[in-house]
Amino acid sequence: LYRMVNDPSDHDLIRWSDTGDSFFVLDQERFASEVLGRWFKHKNFSSFVRQ
């Protein structure tokens, strides 16, 4: 998760909060279709949240 949030190529979709203690997904649909498949065996945003 740390490496995924730190990946600069996806900062328009996911990034750390200003304090660095949480992260934000800025576009759930694009995040699911463009990012999740690279890091997990699924592209389901709800499954990502549960993990």
Q: Please give the Cα distance from 43 to 22 (Å, whole number).
A: 21
Quote the pLDDT of residue 51: 83
Per domain, the residue ranges of the chain are 2-50
Instruction: List Cα–Cα distances, 27 to 31, 39, in angstroms.
Output: 6, 17
Quote the pLDDT of residue 18: 97
Quote the pLDDT of residue 7: 96
DSSP-assigned letters across all residues of the chain: -HHHHH-GGGTTTEEE-TTSSSEEES-HHHHIIIIIHHHSS---HHHHHH-
Quote the pLDDT of residue 1: 93
pLDDT tens string, the chain, 51 residues long: the values are 999 999 999 999 999 999 999 999 999 999 999 999 999 999 999 999 998
Q: Which CATH class is domain 2-50?
A: mainly alpha
